[in-house]
Amino acid sequence: MFPLVAENLVVEFQGKHVLGPVDLRLDKGDIAVILGPNGSGKTSLLKALHGILKLKLGMVRWSCLETESVGKQMFVFQTPIMLRRSVFENLTYPLRLRKVSKAEANQRATEWLDRIALSASMQVPATRISGGEKQKLALARALITEPEMLFLDEPCAALDGKTTNEIESMLQSCVENGTTIMMSTHDIGQAKRLAKNIYFINKGKLECIQSAKTFFVKPSSINASKFIAGDIIE
């Protein structure tokens, strides 16, 4: 399935240029962090790579047939979208879509409930749990399908430290299990903790693509060094 290659990607909304042209390549095992200020195009880039955004120009290519790649990638939205079902049924949903047997789906959902500490609320409507619990549930619902590729859009925006910690360690362990991650954040600390490679984006342009180690020491764009220093980019 890997590498994922994007060429000359351009996204517009109602004629307004928001992204690109972007060229990038993503290899298996990466934890790629898209870092950039609000409105820089992080969400648009992730959605374009995932294939749920109409491209103005360019292409996104997996090294396998599209019919294969679509089922092996999951997306966790910045504001978790909960099905109006119980917590438990939210977890079994993607498995049932994939024709996993009911017994196996239930068993895997039970395991994941335990992992995200929501066993006690398994029958509660997913729309009623707290924001942090929703985010963990959304992540578990993506991971339960054992995706090869996981896109996350600011998974920890607006979460407390404890939940952020839990989510970050879930991400670490899913990478150990062979999932490749691309996530966005505007939190420099999170990028430092998680990233192998940094994609710094500003005003729709990828200004730096560097390994995390190099990026934080010697960013290749002036805006990036300002961003790291906590200055305002205009």
Partner 1 sequence: MNDIWDGIVQAFTLIYTLDPDLIKISLRSLQVTLSALAISCIIALPLAAILTIQRFKFRRFTIALLNALMGLPPVVVGLLVYIVLSRSGPFGVLDLLYTKTAMIIAQTIIITPLITSIAHQSLRELWSDYHDLLISMNTSHNQRIKTLLWDARRALLTASLAGFGRAIGEVGAIMIVGGNIDNATRVLTTAIALETSKGDFALALALGFVLILTTIALNIGTHWLSKTENEGRW
Ligand X SMILES: Nc1ncnc2c1ncn2[C@@H]1O[C@H](COP(=O)(O)OP(=O)(O)O)[C@@H](O)[C@H]1O
Residue 21 or 125: which CB sits closer to partner 1?
125
Q: Which two tokens stand for residue 221?
A: 């764009």
Smallest gap from Cβ 94 to partner 1, in A, equals 6
The reply on whether position 127 binds partner 1 by CB under 8 A is yes
CB nearer ligand X, residue 85 or residue 226: 226
Question: Phi-psi bin for 219: left (phi > 0), alpha (psi -120 to 50), beta?
Answer: beta
Nearest 5°: CA angle at 168, between 166 and 170? Answer: 70
Q: How far is the CB of 141 from partner 1 (least distance, A)?
A: 9
222 in contact with partner 1 (CB under 8 A)? no
| Max intra-chain CA distance, the chain | 55
* Contacts to partner 1 from residues 37-66, by CB under 8 A: 50, 52
Q: Does 110 bind partner 1 (CB under 8 A)?
A: no
Asked if 23 is part of the footprint of ligand X (rule: CB under 6 A), the reply reads no
Q: Out of 57, 64, 81, 158, which residue is the one contacting partner 1 (CB under 8 A)?
A: 81
Calculate helix-pair angle for 102-115, 131-143, nearest 10 degrees. Answer: 140
CB atoms within 10 A of CB 123: 9
The C-alpha atoms of residue 61 and residue 3 are separated, in whole angstroms, by: 8
* Binds partner 1 by CB under 8 A, chosen from 3, 21, 37, 125: 125
Residues in touch with ligand X (CB under 6 A): 13, 18, 36, 38-44
